[in-house]
Amino acid sequence: MARRNGPTNRNGLVGAHAEFAPVKRTMSEIVSLIVERKRNPDAPVARISTEVARIEGYSLVRYRLESEELQRDLAAGGNTPHSTSDYADIRAVFGVLDGDERPQLVLDIIDDGDGPQISFAIPMPGTELPAEVVLDILDRIDVPASWRCGADSTLADLYDAHWAADGGWERQEPRHLVKVEFERTCFATRPTMREAVDVFLVPQAGRDIADPDPDKAYWAKDFYRREAWAEFGDMPRSGEVRAGFSSWTTTGEPEMVKVLNGALDRDIARQTAAAEPDAPGPRAS
């Protein structure tokens, strides 16, 4: 998704690819590096990345592709180091480091012809990067996130960061739904097989499934289960009989899920309208 109004990458951070291309080494140099790494596997790796900004104690750096530094930072977060030399002429990889130079987030950007996009957003497990810092960083980089590998969902989930319809990054208030799961089981096999369907409901004021009052939480969950049956009944799948499978039943507890984009907005609006006291007509199918 490219910026609809105006250009992206207005700060020019995503460019100059030749300056960050993999270092070309002779075979002898490569062998020497491998031998040295085996002899001293715990030796520190020199940082050769370029700092492009500092934000509230965090450092935004651009990595040289295929560098030991980049591979180490990916591995430090439990990520499998991967080749970054592919498409080196259209690729830029940025990292966010804390004050002790520990990686917090890696952003892998590729321009596949439709303009540069964040293809991979890789947070380091166990880190708590402030959302306002991430938004500042995204503003500086000024390119949208791709949906193909889930970078847009990752940034929305962890940092409430969204690429606006008219371009540019913004922080949006998180939205949530109540999820109720239905399943039916096939007892004709061992292990058994199961078919599952999730139904979502717009939360209603005064009905909090996480209410600290156990009684209120119990009745809130009971309410959403009953509402979920009505919603599920509007689905054609609910009336289908499948040979060998049991009837549908709810399973587990209702739980909250976070909305990451506008894909469900139409159904959310339908449910919201139906919940109004003066909502006309029968339930929409």
Supply the range of the domain harboring residue 255: 175-275
Residue with structure tokens 């530094």?
69
38 and 152 fall within a common domain: yes
- 190 and 162 share a domain? no
Quick one: pLDDT band at residue 281, thresholds 50, 70, 90? very low
pTM of the model: 0.83
pLDDT class for 274, splitting at 50, 70, 90?
confident
Q: Is residue 188 situated within a structural domain?
A: yes
- Identify whether 81 is part of a domain: yes
pLDDT at 85: 61
Report the candidate in 94, 127, 131, 125 with the shortest Cα–Cα distance to residue 110: 94
Q: What total of structural domains would you count in the chain?
A: 2
The pLDDT, as a whole number, for residue 165 is 84
Residue 93 near residue 121, CB atoms below 8 Å: no
The pLDDT tens digits of the residues spanning 136-155 come to: 999 999 999 999 889 999 99
Determine, yes or no, domain membership for 71: yes
pLDDT digits (tens, 9 = 90+) for 29-73: 666 766 766 777 676 667 889 999 999 999 999 999 988 899 888
Residue 280: which pLDDT band, with cuts at 50, 70 and 90? very low
Residue 228 within a domain: yes
Q: For all residues of the chain together, what is the average pLDDT?
A: 87
Residue 10 lies in a domain: no
Last residue of a domain, one of 171, 199, 231: 171
28 and 164 inside one domain: yes
Residue 59's contacts (CB-CB under 8 Å, 6 or more residues apart) are: 51, 53, 96, 97, 98, 101
Q: Indicate if 152 and 184 belong to the same structural domain.
A: no
Say whether pLDDT at 10 is over 90. Answer: no
**Whether residue 167 is found in the same domain as residue 182:** no
We report the CATH number of the domain holding residue 107 as 3.40.630
* Residues 212 and 132 reside in one and the same domain: no
Q: How far is CA 53 from CA 17, 68, 143, 171, in A?
A: 18, 22, 16, 20
Whether 92 and 217 map to the same domain: the answer is no
In terms of domains, do 30 and 123 share one?
Answer: yes
Q: Are residues 206 and 147 in the same domain?
A: no
Q: In terms of domains, do 163 and 207 share one?
A: no
**Same-domain status, 30 and 46:** yes
Residues 115 and 32 occupy one common structural domain? yes
Tens digits of per-residue pLDDT, 98-108? 999 999 999 99
Q: Which of 82-86, 149-153, 197-201, 214-218 has the lowest mean pLDDT?
A: 82-86
Note whether residue 264 is domain-resident.
yes
